[in-house]
Structure 1
Amino acid sequence: MRLFAIRDYRHLFTAQVIALFGTGLTTVALGLLAYDLAGPRAGMVLGTALTIKMVMYVLIAPLAAAYVDRLPRRTLLVLLDVIRGAVVLVLPLVTEVWHIYVLIGLLQAGSAAFTPTFQAVIPDIVTDESDYTRALSASQVASTMESLLSPVLAALALTFMSFNWLFLGTSAGYLLSALLVLFTRIPNARPSAHTKAWEKAAAGIRTFFQTPRLRGIMALNLVVAAAGSIVVVNTVNYVRDELGGSQSDVAWMLAASGTGTLLAALVLPRVLDRIAARTVMMTGAGVLAGATAAGVSLLASGFATWTGTVIIWTATGIGMALIITPTGKVLRASVERNAIPEAFAAQFSLSHLAWLITYPVAGWLGTKAGFTLAWSVLTVLAGAGAIGALLLWPRHDGRGATSPVAGPRHASGADRSTLSKAA
C-alpha cells in the first residue's frame, strides 16, 4: 500500500496504534477501578472522571493549537506521551475516588494537547489527497481495532490477573509511542494567519460557526456523544448489575461496540470515494438515534437481555464510525492548509463539549434516577442532533449531495471562494 511506504507516516501510525491500545486498556481498567471503589455508584464516579476529561479537552485543545506553531512539534508530542505514561503508572495506587479525579485531570490535559497536534501533523506528511483520505480511514480502523481488541485482550487478561495490571500496559504503550515519534521526521507547523494566541484559539471555532457544513458537524457531534456515552459510562454497571455479568463480560460487551465500528470502518474507504460524506454521516446519525431509542425500549420492557444489548451496542459502534471517519476529510475541505491545525483543534474541542453534556447525563442521572430516564434524555439529544444536522448542513454542498467533499487544496482561489459560500 502506497500510504505505508511513507516512512514517517508509518512511524506515526504505529505510534498511534500502540498508544490507542494502551488507552483502551485504561478505559476498561478505569471502569472496573470505579466499580471497585464505589460499587453501585461506579457510573457516577466514571461520569465525573470523564466529565473532567471533557473539560480539559474543551479548554486546552484550542490553546494547544494556538501555540503549536511556536513549538517543535516532535518534541511536544514526545513530552506529552512521557507525561501521560507516568500519570497512568500511578493509577493502580489510588485508594480514594478523588485520586482518580486528580490523575484523570492531569492525564487528559496531556491528551488534549497531544491529539489535535498529532492530527494536524498527518496532512503535512501525507500530501496526496487520495492518500490522505486513506490515512483518515486507516486512523479510524486503528481506533476501531483498539475498541474491538482492547476489551478482548482485557477480558483475557482479567481471567488471570487483577485489572490494576492493565494500567501498566497503558504506560508501556505511551512510552513506546514516544520512542516512535522521536524517530519520526515531523515538520514544524506553518505560521498561522493569526498572530495573537487568542485569535488563533478562536479562529477555528469561529470557522465552525460561519460554515454551514461545519455547523452540521457540531450537531452530529451531539449525536455521537449521546449514544457513545451510554456505552462508555453505563456498560460496567449495566452488565454487572442489570445482566449479572462478570468483569470479563464488561470487556466483551465493549468489544461488541468495537465490532460494529470495525464492520463500518472496513467498507468506508471505498464508500467515501463514491458517496458524499454528508450522506454517510447522516446515515450514521439515523443509526445512532435508532440505537438509543432501542436501548430505552429494552429497558422499558423490563426484559434486558444479552442478545438485545449486543445488537444495540454493535449498532452504536457502526453509527459512530459512519460519523467520525469522514469528519477529517470534511474539515480539510473546509479550510485553507495553514488553518488545518486550528480546524482540527476546534473540532476536538467542540466534539468533546458535546461529551461534556452527555457524560453527566449517563453517569449522574443514570445513577440517581435509573438508566431508563437517563437513556431517554440521551435519545432526545441524539434525535435533536440528527435533526439539527439535516437542517444546518445543506443537501447540495460544494460539489453536490452525491459527490465526495471537494477539498480547497486543488481548487483555484475563485473556486475556494465559491466552495466556502456553498458550504
Structure 2
Amino acid sequence: MRALVSARLGADFTRLWTASAVSNVGDGVTLAAGPLLVASLTSDPALVAGAALAQQLPWLLVAPLSGVYVDRLDRRRLVVVVNVLRGAALAVLAAAVAASAVSVPLVYAVFFLLGVGETLADTAFGALLPATVEPERLPAANSRLTATAILGNQIAAKPLGGWLFALGAALPFAFDAVTFLVAAALTSAVRVAPAGRPAEAGGRSLRREVAAGVRWLWRHRLLRTLAASMAVSNVAFCAPFAVFALYAQQRLHLTEVGYGVLLTAYGVGGLVGTALASRLQARLGARTLLRAGLVLETATHAVLAATTHPLVAGGILIAFGVHSVIWGVIVATLFQRSVPDELRGRVGSVYQLTQIGGAALGSLLGGLIAQAVAITTPFWAAALAMTVITAVAWRPLAAA
C-alpha cells in the first residue's frame, strides 16, 4: 500500500504521512493516560480536568507567535527539533513516574510544554505539506492524513493508552516519547527546499508579522467566512457535547458502554468521510459540499435535541462524522492552495486560534446552559446558532 501511495503522492508525502500516523498514536496514548495519571495523584475533579486545559492553553496564548516562527524558519527542521524536544519532555515525565517522583505541577508543566510544541509543529506541518504534493493531489493527501489521525488518535490509541497505564504508569509516556523521536527521524528525511525567511524577517517586529497574518485572512472573503463559520460552529458543537455524557444517560438512557459505542459512531462516520472526501469534491464541488455541511450540522443538533432513541442519535452522529471530515479536508485544501507560502504559518495559526477559542467558549457555555435550563437546551441553542450561520455564510460560500 505504501508503494502505491508513494507512486501517486510521492515518497516525501509518504514520510510525512507515516510520521503523522506514528505521532497521532503517541498523542492519543498520552491523552488517554494523562487523566489516569493525575487521577492517581489527586481525587479533585478540577485538578484532573486541568491536565487537558494545560495542553490546550498554549493555543490561546502563543498560537499567533508560533505562526510567525513557522514562517521565519525552515519548517521541516522546526518540526524535527520540536518533536525531539517533546520526546525529551515526555521522557522526563516517564522517568519521574517510574521513580515515584511525579507531581501534579510536573504533569501540568510537561503538558503545557507539549501544547506549546503542538502550536509550532502542527502549524509547520500544515504549511510544509503543500511542498510535498502536487496541488491537484492535496484533497487526497488531506484525506489520508485525516484517516490515519482518526484511526491512530481516536480509535486505536485510547484503549492502548489505558492498557499501557495498567501495565505500568510510566509506559504510556515512554511510548509517546519514542513515537516523537520516530516522527522526527521520518520528517528529517523529507526532501523539500527550506521555506523560512530569516534574513527578510529579522528586522520586523512580531506584532507586525502577526498583524500581517490577521490582515490577510480578514481580507480574503471566502477564508474569512470559513474561519468565522467554524469558530461559531465550534461554540455550537462544544456547548452540547460538553454535557454529552449526561445527555446519553438522562435522555437516551444509555450505560457507560452504550455511551462509548455512541462516540465510536462519530469515528466511524469520520472514516467513511475520508474515503469519500476527494471523490465527492471532484464530483460535486466545494461550494455544494460546504453548504450541505452547514445544513447537516444544523440538522444534527436539532435531531439530537428532539430524539430519545439511541439508534437515531447514532445514525445522525455517523452522518455528522462524514460531514466533519469532508468539511475539514475541503477547508485544509482551500487554505493550502490560497494562502501564499510565506504567510501559511501566520494565517494557519490565526485560523486555529479562532477554532480553539470557539471550542473553549462552547465547552464553558454548555455546562452553564444545561445547568440553568435542561440537558437538551444546548442542542436547541446550537441548532439555532447554526441556522443563523448557514443563512449568513450561504452567499459568501459561492466563491468556493
Range of TM-score over shorter length? 0.7 to 0.9
Aligned residue for 2:124? 117
Aligned residue for 2:69? 67
Q: What TM-score do the two structures reach when normalised by structure 1?
A: 0.76
Determine helix, strand or coil for the equivalent of 2:191.
Answer: coil
Aligned residue for 1:388? 389
Determine helix, strand or coil for the equivalent of 2:256.
Answer: coil
- Are the equivalent residues in 2 in contact too, given 1:212–1:393 (CA < 8 A)? no
**Paired residue for 2:191, among 179, 185, 206?**
185
Q: 1:31-50 CA deviation, whole Å, 9 max, x = no partner?
A: 555666677x75x5565444
Range with bigger deviation, 187-196 or 177-186:
187-196
Aligned residue for 2:342? 338
Alpha-carbon offset, residue 307 of structure 1:
4.3
**Paired residue for 1:20, among 20, 24, 32?**
24
Label 1:35 to 1:166 Cα distance change in 2 as closer, same or farther (>3 A).
same
Amino acid at match of 2:256: G
Alpha-carbon offset, residue 331 of structure 1:
1.5
Query: Does residue 220 of structure 1 match 2:220?
Result: no
Query: What does 1:255-266 align with in structure 2 at a 5 Å threshold?
Result: 255-266=264-275
Aligned equivalents of 1:99, 1:124: Cα separation in 2: 38
Range with bigger deviation, 28-37 or 114-123:
28-37
Aligned equivalents of 2:290, 2:216: Cα separation in 1: 20
Q: 1:80-135 CA deviation, whole Å, 9 max, x = no partner?
A: 11232344452794976555543332211110111111110111222x22122321
**Paired residue for 1:359, among 353, 357, 363?**
363
- Are the equivalent residues in 2 in contact too, given 1:224–1:320 (CA < 8 A)? no
Range with bigger deviation, 235-244 or 221-230:
235-244
Query: Does residue 268 of structure 1 match 2:274?
Result: no
Determine helix, strand or coil for the equivalent of 2:184.
Answer: helix
Aligned equivalents of 2:255, 2:385: Cα separation in 1: 33
Label 1:395 to 1:209 Cα distance change in 2 as closer, same or farther (>3 A).
closer
- Are the equivalent residues in 1 in contact too, given 2:26–2:157 (CA < 8 A)? no
Range with bigger deviation, 25-34 or 8-17:
25-34
Aligned equivalents of 1:202, 1:9: Cα separation in 2: 31
Cα RMSD, aligned residues only:
3.8
Identity %: 20
Q: 1:309-346 CA deviation, whole Å, 9 max, x = no partner?
A: 54454344233213212111222343334333332222
Gaps of 5+ in 2: none
Query: What does 1:38-57 align with in structure 2 at a 5 Å threshold?
Result: 42=45, 48-57=50-59
Aligned equivalents of 2:178, 2:397: Cα separation in 1: 47
Label 1:371 to 1:76 Cα distance change in 2 as closer, same or farther (>3 A).
farther
Amino acid at match of 1:84: R
Alpha-carbon offset, residue 381 of structure 1:
4.3
Alpha-carbon offset, residue 14 of structure 1:
0.5
Label 1:306 to 1:33 Cα distance change in 2 as closer, same or farther (>3 A).
farther
Amino acid at match of 1:292: H
- Are the equivalent residues in 2 in contact too, given 1:141–1:262 (CA < 8 A)? yes
Aligned residue for 1:348? 352
Amino acid at match of 2:70: V
Amino acid at match of 2:377: S
**Paired residue for 2:78, among 67, 76, 87?**
76
Alpha-carbon offset, residue 60 of structure 1:
2.1
Label 1:129 to 1:340 Cα distance change in 2 as closer, same or farther (>3 A).
same
Query: Does residue 11 of structure 1 match 2:22?
Result: no
Label 1:183 to 1:334 Cα distance change in 2 as closer, same or farther (>3 A).
closer
Determine helix, strand or coil for the equivalent of 1:188.
Answer: coil
Amino acid at match of 2:333: K
Query: What does 1:70-109 align with in structure 2 at a 5 Å threshold?
Result: 70-89=72-91, 90=93, 93=97, 100-109=107-116
Aligned equivalents of 2:255, 2:304: Cα separation in 1: 17
Aligned residue for 1:140? 146
- Are the equivalent residues in 1 in contact too, given 2:54–2:111 (CA < 8 A)? yes
Aligned equivalents of 2:327, 2:11: Cα separation in 1: 29
Alpha-carbon offset, residue 283 of structure 1:
2.4
Q: 1:200-251 CA deviation, whole Å, 9 max, x = no partner?
A: 22222222222221222121233145425755x55677779974426xx776
Aligned equivalents of 2:63, 2:383: Cα separation in 1: 24
Amino acid at match of 1:266: A
Gaps of 5+ in 1: 399-404, 406-423
Alpha-carbon offset, residue 276 of structure 1:
2.8
Query: Does residue 324 of structure 1 match 2:328?
Result: yes
Matched residue count: 385
